[in-house]
């Protein structure tokens, strides 16, 4: 790809520099990504349009007033430019972000955030044949190459976080992404400027939070955000969970349990990991594909599950009380927590799809436990109702239940209890993954027939009858039209008695 861009800019005779993550990753010898940042001294609008035409891409105006434009190039369209070196084996688009600058490239780098990204390479100096010579050609006014070697995230200057407070979160995300540490002085700067985190547009804050959760090691990143006084400014309700003790069934207080639940959600969706604990989690190619689905804000089910884990017990402090036997209870915390999650995620401008998923998971996160009480395995009817009610997040909620279980027990996890819980979840998942509803063409009775037979007006009673018949058919209790009519009559009789 870079070879194609090198040829393109050579033809324009425009000074252009590779900057940011693509260059940083090349210096770290990391696998090349598909996001390329290029600083240009020419007219960005004209260059972006020419680049779009040349590579068959799409122009996206990120921030035209600031001279920032994006060109999205489909991987399959790479061959439209004779000089391009697009790999054809990855189904992912290229994104080329163009940044206009005036003055010198060094002055442009001084406006960037961290030294490891304040690096530039004239695109004309890019040479895929001699990557070892790359470091010698890099423009590095703030010693970013030294910080790469030190595995350190260091701010370019003292005004970095005041210039754009979203960088407060980005410092933690970049450290997590690269496996680096924050420079101590930079960490002090983050802490000193933490009160500015409410200033950026809420959608930028929400996007950074999701990006942090998407990375492995999310629990450690959340702990870092908390130490830097950022997390509870973004989600103030979390502050109230600190020090809230729980019954003996829980190893940690609500705060500790919450962070470990996020870790649990991450680990139960990573496969068996050669672990005696996680080998018991039901995991197949089908579940792996399921949790890799992109479902909200460009993020996967796995990330949204971690977000739900962060909120699942957030209302325990407000609902805590002791019952008549002296036992600590948290009645209604699931329903209250779902409302808190919805309100907070709306403020962070998370998509309605993502908010709906988190809301339902938080609201119903105890339901798998309730299905298992006093039974060897839940009935097919109970499983059917669970999948019917939770629909798109039924499987996700089952894996949240496993994360919740592990986070409750902590180092006192009983292997036999965990095996029983994981086995039960596996049974529910396997049964639930089967088609829950008969196909419309295979249903024994339809709504029109019910209306005509019982002389009904369209309304809730018709839905009640259909639900009862479909459930009985799905669970194998009935299999013929005659049985369906008998069941419909019983439901009608029960309904009239209750009316």
pTM of the model: 0.85
Percent of the chain with pLDDT over 70: 92
Half-sphere exposure of 230 (CA within 13 A, CB side): 33
Answer whether residue 76 shows pLDDT above 60: no
Question: SS3 of 114, please?
Answer: strand
345-399 pLDDT, tens per residue? 999 999 999 999 999 999 999 999 888 877 778 888 888 889 989 999 999 999 9
Kindly give, in sequence order, each residue whose CB lies less than 8 Å from that of residue 168, ignoring residues fewer than 6 positions away. 161, 190, 193, 194, 196, 197, 228, 230
Which of 308, 309, 311, 371 has the alpha carbon at shortest distance from 336?
311
Q: What mean pLDDT comes out for the span 73-96? A: 53
DSSP H helices, 215-332, are: 218-227, 231-234, 254-267, 285-291, 301-311, 316-319
pLDDT band at 249 (very low <50, low <70, confident <90, very high): confident
For residues 463 and 279, give the distance between their C-alpha atoms in angstroms, rounded to a whole number: 42
DSSP label of 38 = E
Q: Is 159 helix (H, G, I), strand (E, B) or coil?
A: coil
Q: Residue 368: CA atoms inside 13 Å, Cβ hemisphere, count? A: 29
Mean pLDDT of 79-108: 67
Block residue for tokens 């190619």: 285
Count of beta carbons in the 10 Å neighbourhood of residue 446: 13
Q: Measure CA 336 to chain center.
A: 22
243-267: average pLDDT:
95
pLDDT of residue 134: 77
């Amino acid at each position: 790809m870079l070879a194609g861009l090198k040829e393109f800019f050579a033809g324009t005779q425009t000074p252009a520099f590779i900057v940011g993550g693509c260059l940083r990753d090349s210096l770290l010898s990391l696998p090349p990504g598909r996001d390329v940042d290029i600083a240009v001294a020419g007219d960005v609008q004209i260059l972006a349009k020419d680049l779009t035409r040349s590579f068959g891409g799409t122009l996206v105006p990120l921030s035209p007033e600031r001279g920032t434009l994006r060109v999205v190039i489909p991987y399959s369209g790479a061959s439209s430019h004779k000089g391009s070196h697009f790999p054809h084996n990855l189904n992912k688009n290229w994104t080329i972000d163009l940044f206009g600058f005036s003055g010198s490239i060094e002055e442009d780098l001084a406006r960037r955030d961290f030294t490891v990204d304040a690096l530039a390479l004239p695109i004309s100096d890019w040479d895929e044949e001699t990557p070892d010579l790359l470091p010698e050609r890099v423009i590095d006014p703030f010693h970013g190459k030294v910080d790469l070697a030190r595995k350190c995230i260091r701010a370019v200057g003292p005004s970095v976080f005041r210039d754009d407070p979203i960088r407060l979160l980005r410092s933690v995300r970049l450290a997590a992404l690269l496996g680096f540490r924050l420079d101590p002085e930079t960490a002090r700067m983050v802490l000193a400027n933490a009160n500015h985190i409410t200033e950026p547009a809420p959608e930028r804050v929400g996007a950074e939070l999701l990006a942090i959760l998407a990375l492995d090691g999310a629990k450690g990143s959340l702990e870092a955000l908390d130490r830097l006084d950022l997390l509870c400014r973004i989600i103030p309700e979390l502050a109230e969970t600190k020090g809230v003790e729980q019954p003996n069934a829980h190893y940690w207080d609500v705060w500790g349990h919450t962070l470990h639940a996020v870790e649990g959600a991450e680990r139960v969706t990573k496969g068996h990991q050669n672990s005696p604990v996680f080998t018991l989690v039901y995991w197949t190619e089908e579940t792996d594909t399921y949790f890799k689905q992109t479902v909200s804000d460009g993020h996967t089910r796995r990330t949204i599950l971690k977000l739900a884990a962060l909120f699942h017990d957030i209302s325990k402090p407000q609902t805590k009380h002791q019952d008549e036997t002296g036992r600590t209870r948290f009645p209604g915390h699931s329903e209250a927590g779902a409302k808190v999650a919805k309100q907070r995620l709306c403020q962070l401008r998370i998509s309605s799809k993502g908010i709906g998923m988190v809301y339902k998971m938080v609201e119903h996160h105890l339901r798998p436990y309730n299905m298992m009480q006093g039974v060897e395995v839940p009935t097919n009817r109970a499983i059917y109702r669970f999948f019917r009610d939770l629909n798109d997040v039924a499987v996700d909620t089952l894996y949240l239940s496993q994360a919740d279980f592990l986070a409750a027990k902590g180092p006192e996890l009983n292997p036999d209890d965990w095996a029983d819980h994981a086995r039960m979840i596996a049974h529910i998942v396997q049964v639930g993954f089967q088609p829950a509803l008969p196909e419309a063409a295979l249903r024994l009775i339809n709504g029109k027939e019910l209306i005509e037979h019982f002389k009904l007006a369209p309304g809730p009673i018709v839905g009640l009858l259909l639900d009862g018949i479909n459930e009985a058919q799905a669970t194998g209790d009935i299999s013929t039209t005659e049985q369906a009519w008998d069941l419909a009559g019983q439901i009608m009789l029960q309904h009239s008695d209750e009316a």
